[in-house]
Structure 1
Amino acid sequence: PVNYATNYKRKTVFVGFDEFIKLEDAFTEFTISPPLEETPLPRTKGKGIVVDLHYADLDSFTYTLDFGESIVDNNESNPLLDFQFVVSILPHIDSFSISGRIIDAFTHQPDEEGMFVHLYSNLSDTMPLTTKPSYLARTNSEGNYRINHVAPGTYSIFVLKDANANMIFDMPSEIIGFANEWVHLYPDSFPVEPDSVNSILMNGEMEQTDTSSIEDSENLMADTDSVATDSIEFMTYGYYIDLFSFTEAAPYQQYLVEYDRVNPEKLQFIFNDTNSNPPGIRLLDTIVEEDNWYLLEANARLDTLVYWIPDSSLLMRDSITVELTYPETDTTGNLITTVDTLLLTAKIEKETTGSRGKSDGKERKGFKLPFGSKEEVTDTLPPPPPRVSFKNNINSSAHDLYRPVIFTPAVPVFTFDQSKINLVRMEDTLEFPAAFTLKTDSAKFRQLRLDVDFEPNTQYILNLYEGAFTDIYGRTIDSIAFKFTTQKDDHYGIVSMKLSNITSPVILQLLDPNEKVLKQKQLFGDGMVEFDFLNPGTYLLKLIFDDNANGIWDTGDYERKLQPERVSYYPSELDVRSNWTLEYDWVVE
């Protein structure tokens, strides 16, 4: 048939071209709207394409065959972009369309692989969960979509990243989106009279574009014998709506993922999700004071817990049995208390070489204790390292003025002696004592924090003497000195942001170009926010409308008809320069 043919009753559509063509990735690129019971797969035949419509309803619809970018010429593979071929079973072409853009609710970026936008004439909320849509279209790499040739009616709109290609939202991990309101597509909904122009309603305003002549891509011209090139006059009414996509929060489940005795010194338990409290743990098959046999190191979510073992009698056991009590989700989704008996065996080091690295044919098994005991646990006990090992965050050439010095020992510190730590400020060759405070970091179990009011562009020497740190096994450090220079004070820039029209709680985030959160502040009304000590570079500002004031961004929920919390970006990047304050006014819309 010709493009836009009416009264078409055949079961096959042939689209001809003036040269040989190929189809690439047609399985993913091609769509037909309204969708059929089974989606046909286009195939080439001579200088054209054949599409079977065996499952088409011969009484009702205008069918839009959207080839996406699947059609390319045979020689150079130049694509015919966004080519659509339309045939109508009816004596007319259905004339309504819906278009817009889909972007991620949190990042405001489109899905480059494309998503589907569904229309449903049955307005039941369960339709996306059980039934194929009435009409559909795929978004392009920019997130734009357009569903053409829709029959008059009222429709609901649903967005789906269809992971299993069945056009149904039936996997919790699938990306979705939805419109809160139905769309009413009737001629009297649009304030114009039918004529030979397209009318597109964009954000409540009518935009008119001349479409009296339908043209094909410059790269690939359609054959005049099979595709109409004469003027085709018809009226199309269009509705424009942007939507946000998101992934729903996974149903809450709690279970123990992994447990291990990483080495003789510690037991580790990993859960799949946040715990409100640490699990209960009790030793079995051994007599040890219940309250003193471990030190607990846990992250803020309480989903990763490390139990350090300072007791030497437990260290020398190659296996430990514990009773672990923790919440777990059962098969019905309810949270129950689970009590597990777990056997944790220390990792065994194997040695198969004798003197001078040659094998003596014997396998030696054993593990290293963290202290200098000579008692053998198995056949051979290698001598342990005698000193505390630790990491630090010192930048020797330009240590940030606002950044404390952080020490992270390999195992927990039992005591620290500030009298064996000395910090001096250098002026030429003269040394001047510098005040500091040493304390443990309450948020990070093994970290020691040295707070200093640093002077800019100044050399410091930090001396740690033997006995400055002593770990839970009685080991200390070797004396060591760190020489470093602080950053210049005019190296940093400042961003000062005045926010107005804030009517609900918000979270203002300062991001790097990769959208890593560097700093954030919560506001409950209009105010001034200042981000200081910023290295020169490019930054972004992001505003989260924290409607429930819980301090985090919350995703949407289709069943409860909750949209994701709104996110807004400052319209331009922030170019921070040294020794410069950037001042902005942000009137939030």
Structure 2
Amino acid sequence: MKYRLYISFLFLAFLFYACAKQSTPMGGPRDQDPPVVLEMFPSNQSLNQRPEEILIVFDEYIKLDNPNKNIIITPKVDKDELVITALKNTVKIELNQDLEDSTTYVFNFQKSIEDLSEGNPTENLKLVFSTGETIDSLKFSGKVNNYFPKRGFLYENVIIGLYESNDTTDVFTAPPYYLSQADSLGNFSIENIKAGKYRAYAWHDDNNSLKAEYKSEAYDFILDTIDIQDEVSGAIFNLSNADQTQIKLTRSSTSGGNYDLVLNKDPLEIELANERIGKDIFYIVTDKKITLYSTQPIQDSVKIDLQLQDSLSFKVDTTIYAKFEESKRRAEKLTYTVNSGKNFYQDLLIELTFNKPIADISYDSLYIAYDTAFQITITPEMISFQDSMKRDQLNIQLIIPDSLTTDIVTIKAADSTFRDIEGQFNEAVLAANYRKLKRETLADELSGQIVGATAPYIVQLIDSKSQIIKELYITEGNEFKFELLEPITYKIRVIEDLNKNRHWDPSNYLEERYAERVFYYVHPDTNSQDIVIKSGWITEDLTIEATPKTGLN
């Protein structure tokens, strides 16, 4: 009997536990509603407020998503002093600092506050209050473009900032007074601005520092001071990278039998003035370094006038005295890279890049092979160096006729085909393939016109890997045409080359100079930059509209 009572007791206890145990209800619609604000302190749009802390109460439990990044506060406050916490259904912000007199503060929470269960973010949540008698209501708005967007770039990570005109800081040294983030299309708006004069900047804030890293982050600026007395709209920023460091020669010294010039950044233009350069003294350029080679040791120092210029037009103009001493150090091995795997129609350009200047070529072991049993001998007339003073990039230009029926041609070179300036031969055998396209597989034409800009233009046809397939330089007019193209997806990029130096020039903040404009073809209906062409197609009458200039438009 006692045993039966014990079993009954356990069974009843189990039923009681099962009934009392709480669990998530199964089924039913998922909660998609964001948290709703029940109360704010101070209240929104309130005047004469100097709170020590801010409280926001919601209708459900909430959590914070990276509040230091996602909560935008204007004008600027010391974020290091803020303490932001979420407890149950309340967000608390401890300011721990004094606020400015007669100033409107805006706390834009964006999507930093989410409900605890489903992560639904609040939408358009702002708290606006003033320490004075009025709410500032002026607005600064516009759009951000990116000249060279990289994979993974998001406009949402772009900061637009206003600095008071009398502020001694700038975008590289301190956070702005007012700021906002762009939306996914690059549009932005800064609201509740106090009337005054400001300097405006935009930058891609990769590291969330609220200031631009000029060596690594794309940025732009408006040169003119902006006097905001009424709403200002139509501002344009065009982001690009520009290292503002002035180029310098940091060290020059003998290295074995060679002579090294070490720089703080890569030069865009190099000029070495001495009658021996290109005859028995040559040079190569590697990462932030120029290495001079001599065909033989030279007893006396060689005077060389050195002129360098970087992409921002900063210059080095000096004289060096290079020494080429006899060295017992073992010479570096000769190595190369080749542009293998390229497709071509008739004109085949083979590029060989060496780690040292080339002194001699054995043509007996350098040829083009096809159909296993046939070959084309490469002669000196087919070969040129990209720069005769460097002799490290070898170009082989061939015309392969349509009568050649094979699809694959191969450049071959035995070991010891190339000898460098230090007497080293290539040890690796060269065998690189190229695919010949058939005429009937090619698109006939891709053409159009450029509007809203001024020639000359650099027009670049780019593939899906951002590689330049073809390039045109247009000195007059606004029309472009590419012919006989492989049928793939392209983009067209245009550079407005106003200084006619045949390359893109970045902005120079110190010299108050904007970057040269860069813009792309955009389909008028789909807003896509992709241009899909097929065999036999003629794609014409494309219109490429120039990006608006930086400034107020």
Q: Does 1:579 find its partner at 2:536?
A: yes
Q: Does 1:3 find its partner at 2:41?
A: no
Work out the CA distance in 1 between the residues paired with 2:340 and 2:520: 34
Work out the CA distance in 2 between the residues paired with 1:409 and 1:46: 65
* Aligned-partner residue type, residue 244 of structure 2: A
* Aligned-partner residue type, residue 250 of structure 1: Q
Instruction: Using the TM superposition, give the Cα deviation of residue 546 of structure 1 relative to its aligned residue in structure 2, in angstroms.
Output: 1.4
Work out the CA distance in 2 between the residues paired with 1:575 and 1:42: 50
Instruction: Using the TM superposition, give the Cα deviation of residue 254 of structure 1 relative to its aligned residue in structure 2, in angstroms.
Output: 2.7
Task: Tell me, yes or no, if the aligned pair for 1:509 and 1:521 is still in contact at 8 Å.
Answer: yes
Instruction: Using the TM superposition, give the Cα deviation of residue 68 of structure 1 relative to its aligned residue in structure 2, in angstroms.
Output: 3.0
* 177 and 419 in structure 1: CA distance in 2 versus 1, 3 angstrom threshold: closer
2:103 to 57, 61, 66: 61
Task: Tell me, yes or no, if the aligned pair for 1:322 and 1:341 is still in contact at 8 Å.
Answer: yes
* 35 and 537 in structure 1: CA distance in 2 versus 1, 3 angstrom threshold: same
Task: Tell me, yes or no, if the aligned pair for 2:272 and 2:307 is still in contact at 8 Å.
Answer: no
How many residue pairs match? The answer is 479
Work out the CA distance in 2 between the residues paired with 1:478 and 1:154: 65
2:59 to 18, 21, 46: 18
Instruction: Using the TM superposition, give the Cα deviation of residue 114 of structure 1 relative to its aligned residue in structure 2, in angstroms.
Output: 1.9
Q: TM-score, normalised by structure 1?
A: 0.64
Partner of 2:284: 298
Instruction: Using the TM superposition, give the Cα deviation of residue 543 of structure 1 relative to its aligned residue in structure 2, in angstroms.
Output: 1.4
Task: Tell me, yes or no, if the aligned pair for 1:11 and 1:52 is still in contact at 8 Å.
Answer: yes
Alignment of 1:85-484 (within 5 A): 85-107=127-149, 111-112=154-155, 114-120=157-163, 122-124=164-166, 126=168, 128=170, 133-140=176-183, 142-160=185-203, 175-186=218-229, 189=230, 239-255=233-249, 271=263, 272-274=265-267, 276-278=270-272, 296-298=282-284, 303-305=289-291, 307=293, 336-339=318-321, 400-404=345-349, 438-443=381-386, 445=391, 447=394, 449=396, 451-455=398-402, 458-459=405-406, 471=419
Partner of 2:89: 47
Instruction: Using the TM superposition, give the Cα deviation of residue 436 of structure 1 relative to its aligned residue in structure 2, in angstroms.
Output: 7.3
Work out the CA distance in 1 between the residues paired with 2:277 and 2:476: 47
What are structure 1's unaligned runs of at least 5 residues?
190-236, 282-289, 315-319, 348-366, 371-387
1:36 to 70, 73, 77: 77
Identity of aligned residues (%): 18
Work out the CA distance in 1 between the residues paired with 2:512 and 2:433: 59
Q: Which moved more, 1:538-547 or 1:442-451?
A: 442-451
Work out the CA distance in 2 between the residues paired with 1:569 and 1:393: 27
* Aligned-partner residue type, residue 43 of structure 1: T
Work out the CA distance in 2 between the residues paired with 1:75 and 1:478: 62
Task: Tell me, yes or no, if the aligned pair for 1:260 and 1:344 is still in contact at 8 Å.
Answer: no
Q: Secondary structure at the match of 1:27?
A: helix
Instruction: Using the TM superposition, give the Cα deviation of residue 571 of structure 1 relative to its aligned residue in structure 2, in angstroms.
Output: 1.2
2:448 to 483, 498, 522: 498
* Aligned-partner residue type, residue 241 of structure 1: A
Work out the CA distance in 2 between the residues paired with 1:438 and 1:550: 29
Instruction: Using the TM superposition, give the Cα deviation of residue 540 of structure 1 relative to its aligned residue in structure 2, in angstroms.
Output: 0.7
Q: Secondary structure at the match of 2:506?
A: coil
Task: Tell me, yes or no, if the aligned pair for 1:321 and 1:344 is still in contact at 8 Å.
Answer: no
* Aligned-partner residue type, residue 200 of structure 2: I
* Aligned-partner residue type, residue 522 of structure 2: P
* 456 and 147 in structure 1: CA distance in 2 versus 1, 3 angstrom threshold: farther
Q: TM-score, normalised by structure 2?
A: 0.68
Q: Secondary structure at the match of 1:28?
A: helix
Task: Tell me, yes or no, if the aligned pair for 1:436 and 1:451 is still in contact at 8 Å.
Answer: no
* 11 and 322 in structure 1: CA distance in 2 versus 1, 3 angstrom threshold: same
Partner of 1:545: 496
What are structure 2's unaligned runs of at least 5 residues?
1-40, 309-314, 524-529, 547-553
2:482 to 515, 531, 535: 531
Task: Tell me, yes or no, if the aligned pair for 1:27 and 1:41 is still in contact at 8 Å.
Answer: no
Partner of 1:376: none
Q: Which moved more, 1:410-419 or 1:544-553?
A: 410-419
Instruction: Using the TM superposition, give the Cα deviation of residue 507 of structure 1 relative to its aligned residue in structure 2, in angstroms.
Output: 1.4
Q: Secondary structure at the match of 2:245?
A: coil
Work out the CA distance in 2 between the residues paired with 1:292 and 1:545: 34
Residue deviations 1:153-211, cap 9 Å, x none? 4544233456887766796666432234555554xx5xxxxxxxxxxxxxxxxxxxxxx
Alignment of 1:515-526 (within 5 A): 515-526=466-477
2:126 to 84, 102, 114: 84
Task: Tell me, yes or no, if the aligned pair for 1:418 and 1:438 is still in contact at 8 Å.
Answer: no
Work out the CA distance in 2 between the residues paired with 1:564 and 1:6: 44
Task: Tell me, yes or no, if the aligned pair for 2:259 and 2:322 is still in contact at 8 Å.
Answer: no
Instruction: Using the TM superposition, give the Cα deviation of residue 269 of structure 1 relative to its aligned residue in structure 2, in angstroms.
Output: 6.1
Instruction: Using the TM superposition, give the Cα deviation of residue 570 of structure 1 relative to its aligned residue in structure 2, in angstroms.
Output: 0.9
Q: Which moved more, 1:52-61 or 1:65-74?
A: 52-61
Instruction: Using the TM superposition, give the Cα deviation of residue 64 of structure 1 relative to its aligned residue in structure 2, in angstroms.
Output: 0.8
Work out the CA distance in 1 between the residues paired with 2:75 and 2:410: 73
Work out the CA distance in 2 between the residues paired with 1:560 and 1:115: 24
Task: Tell me, yes or no, if the aligned pair for 2:244 and 2:509 is still in contact at 8 Å.
Answer: no
Task: Tell me, yes or no, if the aligned pair for 2:157 and 2:206 is still in contact at 8 Å.
Answer: no
RMSD: 5.1
* 421 and 37 in structure 1: CA distance in 2 versus 1, 3 angstrom threshold: closer
Partner of 2:551: none
Task: Tell me, yes or no, if the aligned pair for 2:53 and 2:93 is still in contact at 8 Å.
Answer: yes
Instruction: Using the TM superposition, give the Cα deviation of residue 369 of structure 1 relative to its aligned residue in structure 2, in angstroms.
Output: 10
* 134 and 247 in structure 1: CA distance in 2 versus 1, 3 angstrom threshold: same
Q: Which moved more, 1:454-463 or 1:416-425?
A: 416-425
